[in-house]
Amino acid sequence: MWKNWLTASSSSAPEQVEENTRILADPPPLTPEELALLRRAADIVNGSVAIPCTGCSYCINKCPKNIAIPKYFALYNADMQELESKSWTAQTMLYSHFSEQYGKAGECIGCGQCEKMCPQHLPIRQWLKRVSERFEGRV
């Protein structure tokens, strides 16, 4: 039993697991400085996400073109974090691979069914145009 706990908690001794459990059972409140630091870190992380899609996939169920919307949005987000000078990215290859099985972003017919299903109320059709521009070179 301890071996599993040690591995899962990155601890090297049962005493470390016990200490971690004790600390987490009643965590001390964050200081204002710690809270501010966490907020700054969250702002940095959130600021690096172009499309705030949670990947719930509700949008796919109504897409008549079977476009892998959340997959494409995740690839776009990751690709936007790449250096602009790179001529090739793994996301480009993955997009090409996924588009063999699913519809391409540029094949969106603009019906809006996806947006009706989106709990985040994202402008999916607009974002699909950006994804298409990025991976298919379309406008």
What does the pLDDT profile of the chain (139 residues) look like in tens digits? 445 544 555 667 888 888 878 877 877 788 999 999 999 988 887 777 889 999 999 999 889 999 999 999 999 999 988 877 777 889 999 999 999 999 999 999 999 999 999 999 999 999 999 999 999 985 4
Alpha-carbon distance of 119 to 126, in angstroms, equals 16
Quote the pLDDT of residue 124: 97
Name the CA dihedral angle for 128, 129, 135, 139, rounded to a multiple of 10 degrees: 170
CB 56 within 8 A of CB 70: yes
Helix (H) or strand (E) holding 25: helix 14-25
Quote the pLDDT of residue 103: 94
Question: What is the model's pTM?
Answer: 0.68
* Pick from 92, 90, 88: nearest CA to 105: 92
